[in-house]
Homo-oligomer: A and B are copies of this chain.
């Protein structure tokens, strides 16, 4: 089964849109998903931004919120966004747990649970350790993972995946990379990536 790389940051609103549907739409095309959490903030810093471009450029930020409201509504998904003080959330801990979930094979369920908590009506601050712990427990997943999240090996593996993202010239999330190295950026390019893999054109 051909595999599509799905690169995402747990604070990314558009990655939320993709995470909630990628397994379903990919399965219909006979494609499996390699879920790859990374730290987009590190890449933004390298571009000279100290926060999300949606904060740096407020007009763009307002459009993003309205754009996702409209799309989420059409897809039957909840969507609320923290106010400027709380956006983007600190995604470091969620990503470290994501690395463990990835190794242990429960990253898809975990990631959907995190995004649903973060952008759903509960508006969970996923950067808060207790709050994230509660998300994992409620989802019936491996609650001990959060204790292992800060192990040096695990931290190093997340750094390595983020370095790999930077080396691949990833500049935003979600990003999809096909087996032949084509890069697609944005939830609105997920179908393009799948078309590319199955038909050879978008």
Contacts and interface: CB of A to CB of B under 8 A. Distances in A.
A31 to B, nearest CB: 17
A172 B60 CA distance: 9
A62 interface: yes
A67 B184 contact: yes
Contacts of A186: 188
Interface residues of A, number: 27
Interface in A171-202: 171-172, 182-186, 188-189, 192, 196, 201-202
Contacts of A189: 67
A185 B196 CA distance: 24
Contacts of A171: 57, 59-60, 63
20 contacts: A59-B171, A60-B171, A60-B172, A62-B169, A63-B171, A63-B183, A66-B183, A67-B184, A67-B185, A67-B189, A70-B192, A70-B201, A70-B202, A71-B192, A71-B202, A73-B201, A73-B202, A74-B202, A186-B188, A188-B188
